[in-house]
Amino acid sequence: MNLYIETENGSIKNHPAFEDNILQAFGVIPAHWEPFERVPEPALGVYELLAEDRPVYEKVNGVWSDVWLVRNMTTEEKTAKQQAVITAFSEREYASNWLAWTFDEAICKMVPPIPRPILDQAKVDAGLYVFWCGAENNWREASAYPDPSKRYKFDFFAWQWVEITE
């Protein structure tokens, strides 16, 4: 569906409208209505934020469109984000299981010292899992989820599924 935006003296008025609505109202697209292109919200970098919640309308290559204003985080915002990740990671259940993991500033995530192995398709089909084993500081296979009709959590110290009963 095509969009147009009303202009006056080279500036926009209001918000974009659907072509069908303009045609119903005027019978034609008036000269002061110009094509408009919706641009989706951009994927932000690890340390980027939108400067505004909504895009601004600007003419880009002869067509009015959404322009999203992106800014880099301040040093304080970056530090707060990093600390939130580190704190959440250290406060999770069985946190001592992941003591060997380190914070990677470039991606703002905790990462294992050894990349997670990829299970072959037969193991995936059998429902096996690979979890980090802090006792061995390595990845270790775990049994399949016991019973899909029940709720379980994995006990990293006993290395088994434990049914959640409430």
Location of structure tokens 């990293």: 156
**pLDDT given at position 124:** 85
Q: List Cβ neighbours of 48 (8 Å cut-off, separation of 6 or more).
A: 70, 71, 72, 73
CB-based contact 159:137 (threshold 8 Å) = no
Q: What's the chain's average pLDDT?
A: 95
Measured distance CA(62)–CA(89) in Å, rounded:
48
Residues 14 and 54 in one domain: yes
pLDDT digits (tens, 9 = 90+) for 21-38: 999 999 999 999 999 999
Residues 37 and 86 in one domain: no
pLDDT over 90 at 100, yes or no: yes
149 DSSP assignment:
T
User: Using 50, 70 and 90 to split pLDDT, how confident is the model at 86?
Assistant: very high
Residues 90 and 64 in one domain: no
Residue 106 domain boundaries: 74-111
Residues 163 and 121 in one domain: yes
**113 closest CA partner among 123, 124, 102:** 102
